[in-house]
Amino acid sequence: MTLTQYRPGHAIVPAARTQAPSTSTWRTMLEVRWRDRLRQLTDYCVAFHESGSEALGEQPRPSLRRLMRQSVAARQALGETEAALRRLTRGTFGRCEDCAVEIPAANLAVIPETRYCPSCAAC
Print pLDDT tens along the chain (123 aa). Answer: 334 444 455 544 444 444 667 888 999 999 999 999 999 999 999 988 887 664 455 565 668 888 889 999 999 999 999 999 999 999 999 999 999 999 999 999 999 999 999 999 888
Identify the domain containing residue 86 by its residue range: 3-93
Assess if residue 115 is contained within a domain. no
Assess if residue 11 is contained within a domain. yes
Assess if residue 116 is contained within a domain. no
Assess if residue 121 is contained within a domain. no
Assess if residue 55 is contained within a domain. yes
d(CA 107, CA 103): 7
d(CA 114, CA 76): 14
Q: Total structural domains in the chain?
A: 1
- Nearest residue to 31 via CA among 90, 89, 102, 92: 89
Assess if residue 107 is contained within a domain. no
Assess if residue 34 is contained within a domain. yes
DSSP 109: H
Assess if residue 37 is contained within a domain. yes
d(CA 58, CA 52): 12
Q: What is the pLDDT of residue 16?
A: 40
